Amino acid sequence: MKSFWKIVNDVISISDILLEVLDARFVDETRNIELEDKIRQSNKKLIFVLNKCDLVEKQAIEKQKKKLKPAVFVSATKRYGITMLLHEIQKNSPNKEKVVVGIVGYPNTGKSSVINALKGRASAPVSSQSGFTKAMQLIKVTGKIYLLDTPGVFSYMEKGIGKHALRASVDFTKIKDPEAAAVFIIEGNKDAVSAHYLVKKKADTEEMLAEIAFKLNRLKKGGVPDIKAAAQALLKDWQRGKIKT
């Protein structure tokens, strides 16, 4: 963890502008306030990049626009909002020949995809699993703009497996208690889960998970719902963006 913070501190020092890549589906959970404070204390420009905006409703986007400034909504995989993001970078760029833009954020918010979209072609490794980017990289975007990538940073104070599952900073295959993580997601997103799996919304979250097991035919001998298998399936669908909030 200390090595992560050392890299991030170096990125803040080197960069003229910092982009914090957030997941538009759960902005508050993917913000790193400690990191934002470090950036501001260094008198560096901070731009919020809310990725995966194609997975949220317009009303939610408008709400976040009022809350975070400056903020740019993008869908890196669909290249939506990338021109607007470049414009925002240029608008906040100092008058110098070489402008370095640091890219920071939690794992799996789509940092590498944002970099690739800005550059126009695959230039940084992209994976649906966390921790894929292993080292700092400097990537040229235009004649004067360079992107500085850094590994995803966990706040060392946060250890909640539900939150890590929610924002996909821990891959679903590596979550030791998938049932608890799935319940955490269902509790905060009952409408979305109900609509995706076509099950009734219930006060008892574990009952909903059992219904999902029946729907997905995740059953043990005797027709008993396999709760663990259903939880793993839900986590997989959530982390791959199939459950739209």
Going along the chain from its start, the domains and CATH numbers come out as: 2-149 (3.40.50.300), 161-239 (1.10.1580)
Residue 41 pLDDT class (50, 70, 90 cuts): very high
* Statement: residue 132 has pLDDT above 90: no
In angstroms, the CA 22 to CA 49 distance is 6
Alpha carbons within 13 A on the beta-carbon side of 220: 8
Token pair for residue 244? 């739209």
- The mean pLDDT value for 165-174 works out to 69
Look at residue 50 in the predicted model and tell me its pLDDT: 94
In angstroms, the CA 12 to CA 35 distance is 9
* Statement: residue 221 has pLDDT above 90: no
Residue 65 pLDDT class (50, 70, 90 cuts): confident
Residue type, 87: H
- The mean pLDDT value for 222-243 works out to 90
Look at residue 151 in the predicted model and tell me its pLDDT: 58
Q: Which of 18-32, 67-81, 171-185 has the lowest mean pLDDT?
A: 171-185
Q: CB–CB of 113/51 below 8 Å? A: yes
Residue 21 pLDDT class (50, 70, 90 cuts): very high
pTM of the predicted protein model: 0.63
Look at residue 8 in the predicted model and tell me its pLDDT: 78
Sheet of 137-140: strand order equals 71-73, 45-51, 17-23, 99-104, 145-149, 137-140
Look at residue 162 in the predicted model and tell me its pLDDT: 60
Q: Which of 71-80, 163-172, 193-202, 221-230 has the lowest mean pLDDT?
A: 163-172
Look at residue 34 in the predicted model and tell me its pLDDT: 84
| Measured CA angle at 242 (ends 168, 158), to 5 deg | 15
Chain centroid offset of residue 66 CA: 20
